[in-house]
Amino acid sequence: MMFFYALAFFMMVAGAFMALDLTPVDFVTQILSVFSGRKVKLKQSFKRSIKPVKIRGIRAIVRDSKEALRMEDQSSKFPQIVFASFVLAIVGILIASAMDNPFLIPILAIFFALLPFLYVLITAIKSKKDLNTALETALSTITSSYIRTESIITAVSENVDNLDPRVKPAFQRFLVQSQMISPDIPALLESMKKQINNSVFHEWIDAMVLCQDDRSLKSTLLPIVNKLSDMRVVAGELNNLLYEPLKDFVVMALLLLLEAPFMRSQNVEWYNILMFTPVGKILITVDVILLMIALVAIVRNTQPIEYRR
Q: What is the pLDDT of residue 43?
A: 56
Supply the DSSP symbol for 52: P
> pLDDT at position 30, please?
57
Name the packing angle between helices 221-237 and 104-149 (round to 10°). 140
pLDDT of residue 7: 62
The boundaries of the domain holding residue 137 are 133-229
Contact 139/220 with Cβ under 8 angstroms? no
Per-residue pLDDT of the chain (309 residues; tens, 9 = 90+): 565 556 665 566 666 556 656 665 555 565 555 555 555 555 555 455 555 556 666 777 777 787 777 767 777 788 788 888 888 888 888 888 888 888 888 888 888 888 888 888 888 877 887 888 888 888 888 888 888 887 888 888 888 888 888 888 888 888 888 777 767 778 888 888 878 877 888 888 888 888 878 777 778 888 888 887 777 777 666 666 667 777 777 888 888 778 778 877 877 887 788 788 888 888 888 888 888 888 888 777 776 666 665
**CA–CA gap between residue 25 and residue 193 (Å, rounded):** 34
- Listed residue (53, 62, 57, 11) closest to 32, CA to CA: 62
CA dist., res. 116 & res. 124, Å (int): 12
CB atoms within 10 A of CB 45: 11
Residue 142 domain flag: yes
Q: Looking at the domain assignment, is residue 53 inside a domain? A: no
User: Could you tell me if residue 218 is inside a domain?
Assistant: yes
Number of domains in the chain: 1
Is position 205 within any domain?
A: yes
Gap between the Cα atoms of 31 and 28, Å rounded: 5
Tell whether 179 is covered by a domain: yes
- Model-level pTM? 0.69
Q: What is the pLDDT of residue 79?
A: 79
Domain presence at residue 150: yes
Non-local CB neighbours of 122 within 8 Å, separated by 6+ positions: 299
Asked if residue 294 belongs to a domain, the reply is: no
Residues found in the chain:
309
Establish if 123 belongs to a structural domain: no
